[in-house]
Chain A
């Protein structure tokens, strides 16, 4: 089976979903490369309890100032791990259980060098996901989360401070297999953090270049304006 390496940037994740995420990754990856962006809690200690984890630490946090540089660093640490395939996932994202059955086939197939998934944003807990506007996981399309390492491709990253993507530009242009496996995203599941996330988003993107103003505003919409659907666990045949 080709080697699958996960790569991830973390910062102050101890009280969030890190342990659950690592438990999940440990089931289907061979190696987990983590770049800790100067956490102030025991995030690094949690990471080191997993045999697959290779941890790298930043002394000072740079995620909000220069995300691209951080991503680029993580990419190089990951390449040192001699990966065959790389999955880029955040500490609050989970491939659904069905992935355990399907991933071996995706890693062994020869046609596609990249695999994409749809992301479902859970809202107010884990039982529901959001479907209005740009939150709609079907209309938003697929994003590449997994690539085969191709040494001939450039490792260049777009010179953006944020919204700079998880992979080098060349990998994002690969024809990709669109999988029906869903990614459950818990980044918005706890409303307590949403105002801070909204403020951070507008601080980073004051002229609304990356997302519309309406989309940013929709983070704080009252419940009656928000459309939710129930997350139903699925299994194949």
Chain B
């Protein structure tokens, strides 16, 4: 008889249950559910929603009609989940703060990276007493689960410096890439004088989209061979409209997004890939996929990106200002050998983040808690 695992998240589907935008977190959740299924567990998911039940990729997803947030925690959702998932043997808290205030005995909390370095977090919780209250709640969230899994070392370091009592609970399981699916393109002798620069993320300020748009304006004006491709969803319809309007007005700037299955081809066609995040970052799936396709990457030094990129070895680790972006892109523009060398090294690094290793590490953690 298979054991039951209940996973709690906030928004896999839009809370109204009518929209699903597949980003990195959603893919991670689906891959984790598939892994659990392969290991013989039965998995169901709970999230914020109007009491609906849906099924996606063979997994039941249920909406819990609570949406109150306090100090960036979701106590009502946490407690509704505790009661509703009572018949389940084990629990996964897909976001660390979801384990506040009450965690199931055999449970694991997951961090996808520091999100409290986002300026909006400071605006909402900047007051000393608010910050203290958030941290107090996080200390309860960390105390509950038996293990805490982090996709990067940045999160672990932050908490070890801030709430050191949980040192023994942390496990570092970095993000992953299927290196058989994401692989460098076949070498061809076809001359191609275009330089394609790819920004493969959500079109949101924390990902450095505004800096990249400005850099695109400068570099497409200066170099006729340069193209900029912005490939990813906006945060909302208006953002997608503004991106489309902007791209239509700028020569050699393109805006679109593509299904996951097409992404290997998109990376393979690129010459340089940008992940210029300012904050709210883990070990980006997009960065790993670009590296696995043998591309040099220019990344912001937010979150766990420094777990993936060594300065001037497989890319550039920069403060993603317009000037720094332009300068690092120009270095790669002028030096095809450097692009090639960095791409080759990126591929080697990506191999150590292969999805099979991710499976094995998760299987070990699961067997130690869910037993």
Contact = CB atoms under 8 A, between A and B. Distances in A.
A234 B254 contact: yes
B248 A175 contact: no
A111 interface: yes
Contacts of B310: none
A111 to B, nearest CB: 6
A59 interface: no
B260 A237 contact: no
10 contacts: A102-B258, A109-B261, A111-B22, A175-B56, A229-B245, A230-B248, A232-B248, A234-B256, A237-B198, A237-B227
B259 A236 contact: no
Given A138-B238, A237-B196, A237-B231, A105 B266 contact: no
A236 B20 contact: no
Nearest to A111: B57
Interface string B255-268: 11111111000100
Contacts of B20: 175-176
Interface in B56-90: 56-57
A109 B27 CA distance: 14
A178 B254 contact: no
Contact of B254 (A136, A179, A229, A237): A237
Given A175-B13, A175-B56, A237-B198, A109 B231 contact: no
Nearest to A179: B259
Interface of A: 98, 101-102, 105-106, 108-111, 136, 138-139, 141, 175-180, 229-230, 232, 234-237
B231 A177 contact: no
Given A111-B22, A229-B245, A237-B231, A141 B237 contact: yes
Contact of A236 (B13, B238, B258): B258
Contacts of B227: 237
A59 to B, nearest CB: 40
Contact of A235 (B19, B22, B254, B266): B254
A116 B176 CA distance: 29
A237 B237 contact: no
A177 B254 contact: no
B259 A109 contact: yes
A5 to B, nearest CB: 20
A111 B13 CA distance: 14
A234 to B, nearest CB: 6
Interface in B125-160: none
B240 interface: yes
Nearest to B257: A180
Contacts of B13: 175
B14 to A, nearest CB: 10
User: Which of B240, B241, B260 is the most central at the interface, judged by chain A CB atoms within 10 Å of its CB?
Assistant: B241
Nearest to B241: A138
A236 B229 contact: yes
Nearest to B237: A138
Contacts of A101: 262
B56 A237 contact: no
B266 A237 contact: yes
A234 B238 CA distance: 19
Nearest to B270: A237
Nearest to A138: B241
A75 to B, nearest CB: 23
Contact of B261 (A108, A136, A139, A230): A108
B356 interface: no
Interface string B229-247: 1010100011011001101
